Chain A
């Protein structure tokens, strides 16, 4: 098997655009997912009435339906009731909706891992609930959550490939299109894999570094 290198160079700009789009959508989606996850996990942790039931329903729906179906609902379903969103916006909302639930679970379990005596000590020196969160619980919970958090980031980034189902020209969809036009399957798939690696390898290295960086906080107490 030989690769048509010239072809690969010719389509490189398409991949470059697709790679940036993938990265952009994933980044925005993950950032929002972290925010949603954080808010949900705090609501769950403090068992805030009513809200915590709503969160529970959200978590169950988000985690027990496939992203593709969530995206279909946003992209094809919502216009029927008069709400039309662009593909990219749907992608970001979908990723946030799914990712938020995964992040919430990881953060919540991290918060519950923080020793009760730490919380009581924090109260005993007069911290408010918010300060307790900010200075005691979240930093420690995050350090417990990092392995799960990393797995979620990588998972969500790869989930962007599902966006190909709603006509977003990210890496996977671009590859499918190019294969359909030029029938250079091997080349296209090879570039697809390389494209994902270019994003994911540095991310993985960063997350491993982060894990080592923040885990040191929890040792020895």
Chain B
């Protein structure tokens, strides 16, 4: 049982914008059910890294394996991959022309072609869980930022992904709304969802993550169990980073 293939493996991933290197050979193994927080200063490549995993960026080298299937090939069907790797963005982009429910149902109905009844029941259950059951028929403009972000998470979950990527999902929220969104993610962690979380919320990362990777200038400087990373960072760069955050 313990010899399972890791759900996601990244090998020597290289990404450049023209001559400018963004990721210099990233290696990472993600076991099923693990929560990995990706920390680092702005511009270190952590968002780009997540975007590569969802096929939103072209990569110049290395490999990404989802279970044992390589995603770095011309024939990769990203539409299928994206049903297995869900992603939520900083800018909580609900589609403003659709209601909350329509936003959530769009992909399950049109891409996955699942029966409406089943998906709707699942959507209602998820909405209930994030405390927004009564907003199903509202338009995004009627919701607060935190509510929109929770809906965006539900929308991604309703596709039943194996892995969730969170790209600074609380970065553009009012402080008061950060909590409600983080609670939802923490709930997911409890349920055993495999997640990669780019965040600046250190306390949250410490609490929720199993492992932390610390990135700077396109490299992983440190990869450690979360508790050890925060209490006893090994690299100088990580120590420096954590010190700045502590008043």
Contacts and interface: CB of A to CB of B under 8 A. Distances in A.
Interface stretch (B82-90, B203-211, B212-220): B82-90
B106 interface: yes
A135 to B, nearest CB: 6
B93 A117 contact: yes
Contacts of A135: 95, 98, 106, 110
Interface of B: 54-56, 78-80, 82-83, 86-87, 89, 91, 93-98, 106-107, 110-112, 139-142, 148, 152, 155-156, 159
Interface in A99-134: 115, 117-118, 120-128, 131
Given A118-B93, A219-B141, A127 B54 contact: no
Contacts of B55: 123
17 contacts: A115-B91, A120-B93, A124-B56, A124-B86, A125-B111, A126-B111, A126-B112, A126-B159, A127-B79, A128-B111, A131-B111, A139-B95, A216-B141, A220-B140, A220-B142, A221-B93, A221-B148
Given A115-B91, A124-B156, A128-B79, 20 more contacts: A117-B93, A121-B95, A122-B95, A123-B78, A125-B86, A126-B79, A126-B111, A126-B159, A127-B110, A128-B111, A136-B95, A136-B97, A140-B97, A217-B139, A218-B97, A219-B96, A220-B139, A220-B141, A221-B93, A221-B94
Nearest to A124: B87
Of all A-B residue pairs in the complex, the 9 with the closest CB atoms, nearest first, are A220-B141, A221-B96, A125-B107, A121-B93, A139-B97, A217-B97, A126-B111, A124-B87, A126-B82
A120 B152 CA distance: 13
A124 B111 contact: no
Contacts of B95: 118, 121-122, 135-136, 139-140
Nearest to B165: A124
A212 to B, nearest CB: 15
Nearest to A138: B97
A125 B106 contact: yes
A123 B56 contact: yes
Q: How large is the interface on A (under 10, 10 to 19, 20 to 34, 35 or more residues)?
A: 20 to 34
Given A123-B56, A125-B106, A126-B159, A220 B82 contact: no
Contacts of A117: 89, 91, 93
B156 A125 contact: yes
A77 B97 CA distance: 47
A218 B142 CA distance: 12
B96 A220 contact: yes
Nearest to A131: B110
A143 interface: yes
